[in-house]
Each structure stands twice: as structure tokens, then as C-alpha cells.
Amino acid sequence: MKSIDQIASELQGYDPNALSADSVNAFLAQLVAPVQETEPVDLFAALGRVLARDVVSPINVPPHDNSAMDGYAFSGPQLSTAGASQFKVVGTALAGKAWQGSVGMGECVKIMTGAIMPQGLDTVVPQELCTVQGEQISIAPGVLRTGDNRRFCGEDLMQGAPALTQGELLSPAAIGLLASINIAQVSVLRKLKVAYFSTGDEVLSLGEPPREGAIYDSNRYTVYGMLTQLGIEVIDMGVVRDDPVLLEAAFMQAAAQADAIITSGGVSVGEADFTKAMMRKLGAGVEGGGVAFWKIAMRPGRPMAVGRIAKPAAEPVLAEKSASRPIEYRGSSYQNNSAVLFGLPGNPVAVMVTMLAFVRPALLRMMGANPAKYCSAPLYLQARSSEPLRKKPGRTEYQRGTVTRAPDGTLQVKTTGNQGSGVLSSMVQANGLIVLHHHQANVTVGDLVDVLMLGTV
């Protein structure tokens, strides 16, 4: 496991005081590692889980050549190129069983979708593309080619071929694919465990009475929602006050239970230093550990802390902790492993943007998801800006926007108004983030911009 310093030394242009968004993701890709433990789950419980090993198809899908249409099956080489083709209907093939008759020259079989193709027949004409008169059908020239509307045995999956590969996030389609090859239970990686808490004396939990200078904690709920969408096991640890003993106890409890810890608040320049000091203390001396404090060249966001915190050999005893009462542990030694730390800024929109841009790809890697498919550079939608956008080169900006379709069918995007990092209502109005990249300058009306759509996995 590489240390924070080793990762930094190998990252070209690494500057913790002016780190580009691309460098953040490159750093985090080396910091995290996937979980290893696996468990079997039934298909109905497999949605969103990460496949632990390759699945090989035990059967052909479909198991036989069959019709892709309701229509009439015949031998394709008998199609006429000069005029209409005529066939006599000699039977009906239904789905679920093979038709037992034989078909001669100039003959066809009425066939249902999914029915096994009778021996010697290779083409199906949809019933709407032919004329039926009694027991005769007529097909106009040029509407079909030999082999049309026939599904081949093993066309979807061949017996012995890979059906799904390790690291696949099991979607509804993937679960259906497993069911199609008669697999009722599948091995998945265990759920990632992430502990989360907000920090600050000014942060109120829901239900507390208002007080001057204080705000209600929205970050816990947005982070919880984003983690839950990823299928992560969330450990909600509430709000932790700016008290060194309480902060240490919270970090230790989180590290004892979770693979990763997410905090919000306490990492900006000028804020009370308790949170940052505790991160430094608990990251120091850990094999492969340490904590880095970044100023990311981005907006909104900028301050962020990442690193590793040692897992205690025993969970801390948290009852009645205060600055005057030291933390007690059920055990005193540390295990030789750690939890990954993501210290996020405190402003609500900055939390969501850093989660989407950096933490989410890192957590997907920790979940064991295929890095090339799920954790690489984001897939952006392109839309034309409906308004001029001011942008200075040298930082990446994530502006809340709404994508709509213009009358000519093209996609257009406009901002949701106030882009302040504390304006959460504008995030609700948005369906995407307009991503103005590091070297990009001002945008004029009609320019194409990249948009990271929200609400997708």
C-alpha cells in the first residue's frame, strides 16, 4: 500500500495548494483499494451489488433457433426476385414446443414469436408484410432477405462463454441476464461501509431549537442520499461539536466500523483547527497513512482533506465524553489497517459537488466496481449554452444547470441562477452540472459545454 507521500511524488504537477480536478481523481485512484470479502445473494437482493467473480453461461441463450416475429417461416432461397413469392401454409408452430411436421418446396409454416424454427426453414416474414388468402400467402419482391427475423441458437449467450464479468454493477438488465441462464444466486462483494458525520458548534441536528448563528444540518441528509443510491451501508454519526476529545472519539468509532469516513466542515482555511488537527494526529504514523489537505482549483468546493486513519483494535467507549474526560478504549493496540478519509467542505452545494466529482468514483473503486466502466472519466452530455458564462482559466467550475430540448431538437442548457455554494435550492432546480474545465475560458451563447447529468448511477 502506497503512502500519501509516495502517491503525491508519482503524480505529475502535484501541488496541494492548487490541485486540478483531474489530479484529485488520479490521486484517489491510487489511494483506495476494493473490498475483498464476498457473500452469496439471491437475485432479488442483487440489484446494485458488485459481482465478485465472472459468471459463465451454463446454457445457450436462446437454446434453439427461433422466430423473432409472429408471421410465416419458410426457406429463404425460395424467395423470388422477379415477382411475388407464393407459399402454401401447412401448419402452425407455437412457442414452447417444436412443430413436428415437414415442409416441402413452396410451403411455409405459420409461426409465433419465440417458436422453434422448423427443420430446414431459415426466414420469417412478419404477418403484416404478406397477403393471406385462405391457405396461401404472397410476399412482394424486395421486402425480405434470406435469414430475416430468425434468432440463432446462442445468439445472446453461448454455453461456456462469459455472461458477466467481475466488477459488474448488477443492473436490472444484468439480473435479468442471470435469470435467463437459470442462475438464482450470485456471489457479490460485501457492501462497502461508510461512516459520516458533520462537524461544528454552529450545526444543529433536526429537532433542536433554533439559535442565533446556527444552521440546521442538511449535509447529513444529502450525503446519506448519495451513499444510499450507491448501495452503500451508511453509518450515520450525527453532528460532532468542535471538541478535540469528541472529535477523536468520533473518528475512532468511525474507523472501527467503516471502510471509509466522510466528514463535512472544519477543513477550510480560517476555521477552528480542531478537526484538521485531529485528522493530522490520527493519520500520523499509520503504515501507508497520513492525511493531505488540499486547495483544489475548483468552484464550488476547494478545501478537501484525504488520507487514511488507523482502525483501533477495539472500539472507543464514547459515554459522556468531553475535553476534561479522556477517551477510554476496550483495548489499546491498533490493527494494521485503516479507513480512508474524505474531509469535505461545509457548504451544502460544495459537499454535493465534491461527492459527485471525486468521492463517488473513489467509493465505486472501493466497492470493487470495474474501474474502466464505472470509475474512469465522467461521461458528459454536450449541450449549447443559452447564456454567456464567465470563466477564468486555471480552475474547474461546476455550475448548476437545467438541460432542455430546443425547438430544433438540439439540447440546450442554462444555469439555475445564484451559484453560491450555500444555495441548495438551485441544486434542486438543476438536472445537471455544467462542467467548465480547468483550461476553459468564457463561454458565449451557443457554445457547446459539457454537462454531468444528475440522478444517474
369-420 residue pLDDT tens: 999 999 887 889 999 999 999 999 999 999 999 999 999 999 999 999 888 8
pLDDT attached to residue 25: 95
pLDDT, one tens digit per residue, over 42-77 is 999 999 999 999 999 999 999 999 999 999 999 999
pLDDT of residue 317: 52
Return the pLDDT at 336. Answer: 44
CATH homologous superfamily, domain 381-453 = MoeA, C-terminal, domain IV (2.40.340.10)
Indicate the SS3 state at residue 179. Answer: helix
Q: What is the model's pLDDT at position 271? A: 55
**Domain parsing of the chain, residue ranges:** 4-37+192-375, 39-60+155-189, 66-151, 381-453
Domain at 39-60+155-189, CATH homologous superfamily: Molybdopterin biosynthesis moea protein, domain 2 (3.90.105.10)
CA–CA separation, 268 and 445 (whole Å): 35
Same fold, 4-37+192-375 and 39-60+155-189: no
Residues of the chain with pLDDT under 70: 269-273, 285-289, 314-336, 455-457
Position 421 scores a pLDDT of 85
- Other CB atoms closer than 10 Å to residue 301's CB: what's the count? 29
Report yes or no on whether pTM surpasses 0.85. Answer: yes
What does the angle CA 95 – CA 100 – CA 101 come to, to the nearest 5 degrees? 115
How much is the pLDDT for 331?
A: 37
Pick from 396, 387, 330: nearest CA to 357: 396
- The pLDDT value given to residue 419: 87
The per-residue DSSP string of 351-368 comes to HHHHIIIIIHHHHHHHHT
The CATH class, in words, for 4-37+192-375 is alpha beta
Write the CATH number of the domain with boundaries 66-151.
2.170.190.11
Angle, CA of 438, 271 and 392, to the nearest 5°: 20
Which pLDDT value is given to residue 76?
Answer: 96
- Given a contact cutoff of 8 angstroms between Cβ atoms, the answer to whether 212 and 199 are in contact is no
Residue 170 is predicted with a pLDDT of 98
